[in-house]
Structure 1
Amino acid sequence: MPLFEFHCPPCRSQFELLVRNSEKPACPECGSVKIEKLLSAPARPSANGSSLPIASSCPPPSHGPCGTGCCRLPG
């Protein structure tokens, strides 16, 4: 089953789910089915076998405190 990234506008959460095309996923935080599938860049192995970076930089603060490979929330 493919792994997809979703955003839930009602509660503003972002999450990943394993879903089939025929499934209608719901937000694990609030249960809403009004979720949006996000576009994710596919990764492929590098030619020399080295690992790929998770993220090149943090998103601007106007996009929220967290992003792929980056989180500004106090830990």
Structure 2
Amino acid sequence: MPIYGYQCKKCGESFQTLVRSGEEPVCPSCGGADLEQQLSLIASPAKGGESDAPACSNAGAGAGCATCPGAAMFG
């Protein structure tokens, strides 16, 4: 079940919601159903400075991602 971003055309509220199969999302602010789906970026692990996420300082140390300072961002 994917999470989609929407903007309500009635009140302008921007929000994200979990969309289950067969359900039509509504604005949590005004209850409007006239929504515009927003483009969103997918999250991906950091690769050599391509992201704002901190690089793992424990790479190769055998400690794993649980001790990585950036683990909280992706956990």
In which range does the TM-score fall when normalised by the shorter chain?
0.5 to 0.7
Q: Deviations over 1:15-74 (max 9, x none)?
A: 0101124210100000011111101011211135x8x438xxxxxxxxxxxxxxxxxxxx
User: Under a length normalisation based on structure 1, what TM-score does the superposition of the two structures give?
Assistant: 0.59
Amino acid at match of 2:52: P
Report the number of matched residues.
Answer: 52
Instruction: Return 5+ residue gaps in structure 1 as ranges.
Output: 55-75
**Cα-Cα RMSD:** 2.0
Instruction: Return 5+ residue gaps in structure 2 as ranges.
Output: 54-75
Q: Identify, as 1 or 2, the structure richer in helix.
A: 2
Structure 1 runs of 4+ with >4 Å offset:
none
Greater Rg by CA? 2
Amino acid at match of 1:45: P
Identity over the aligned pairs, expressed in percent? 37
Q: Distance in 2 between matches of 1:28 and 1:15?
A: 8
Amino acid at match of 2:7: H
User: Under a length normalisation based on structure 2, what TM-score does the superposition of the two structures give?
Assistant: 0.59
Q: Distance in 2 between matches of 1:16 and 1:53?
A: 22
Instruction: Tell me what 1:8 maps to.
Output: 8
Question: SS at 2:30's partner residue?
Answer: coil
Amino acid at match of 2:2: P
